[in-house]
Amino acid sequence: MEQKKRKWWVYPVIFLVSQLVAGLLPVVLSKTGMQQNVFGGAITLALLVANVLALCLFFCYRPQSITRTSTMAGLKGRGARRTVLAFLLALPLIFLVNIVQEAFFPNITDLVGDEMMKDIMFNPLGLLTVAVLGPVCEELLFRGGVQTCMLRQYPSQGPGMAIAFTAVIFSLIHLNPAQMPAAFTLGLALGFAYWWTGSLIAPMAIHVFNNSFACVVAQLSPDEDSIIQFLGGSLSAGIVSIVSLFFLMIVIRAVRKEGLEEEQKG
């Protein structure tokens, strides 16, 4: 009964308040006349503080035991198999969305400068925050928070509405037009993974991979923030897209088969 009283909008507010409070740190330090490289470190520290603060507020609002119970379901029996399938389903989508956006929509406004991202991604603490802590925090807030609230408060609408709604909030909360299309698509995959597996393990693993891959691209191609160039050019990117589509169809078939087997056993 306690869980039904939770409001979905509290979780995005937690995220925004944490970002705002932590965002004051580099502003304050910049007033002291620190050098640019030190200021870049402050941005990384602010990102870390934002995630830690958001986690603290999340667990204050929602008991940790509830989240732990749902999360562990993805490591046992059928849940473990579904976790693997959900992860494999998301992999080709990550490649396809990023390639399509870069190839066909390259001029979407990017409010996060390349220099700022490099300051973060080339900092060990920043890498840890972006690749691991950030994804875990966001999955707790959006899939564990927003989507769970929507599923429980509006069960008659079905899981599709909760998944799509959470994906929209997840994309908008990034506050950066260049990130929104990929964030929305990724949000759909993350939402499906959470609903289908009944666990946060799958969406967390997918999100960690997505962010880690972005960090790898940045590390290996520091002078060219381009997944197409990272893959070796347009021809290579096209081949990767075709392979990803083929792999996606195979995994979708496996997912459908898994669902049919469960229905037959039920």
pLDDT score of 39: 47
Mean pLDDT computed over 104-120: 79
Q: Are 16 and 173 within 8 A, CB to CB?
A: yes
pLDDT score of 121: 82
pLDDT tens digits along 63-99? 655 555 566 666 777 889 999 999 999 999 999 999 9
pTM beyond 0.85, yes or no? yes
pLDDT band with cut points at 50, 70 and 90 for residue 1: very low
Integer Cα distance of 177 and 117 in angstroms: 16
Nearest partner of 43 among 142, 138, 141, 113, judged by Cα? 113
Nearest partner of 83 among 165, 192, 160, judged by Cα? 192
Share of the chain above pLDDT 70, in %: 85
CA distances to 96, 100, 245, 262 from 252, in Å: 15, 20, 10, 16
Close Cβ partners of 59 (under 8 Å, ≥ 6 residues apart): none
Mean pLDDT computed over 149-168: 94
Q: Please determine, for residue 192, whether its predicted confidence score (pLDDT) is greater than 90.
A: yes
Lowest-confidence segment of 100-109, 116-125, 246-255 by average pLDDT: 116-125
pLDDT band with cut points at 50, 70 and 90 for residue 2: very low
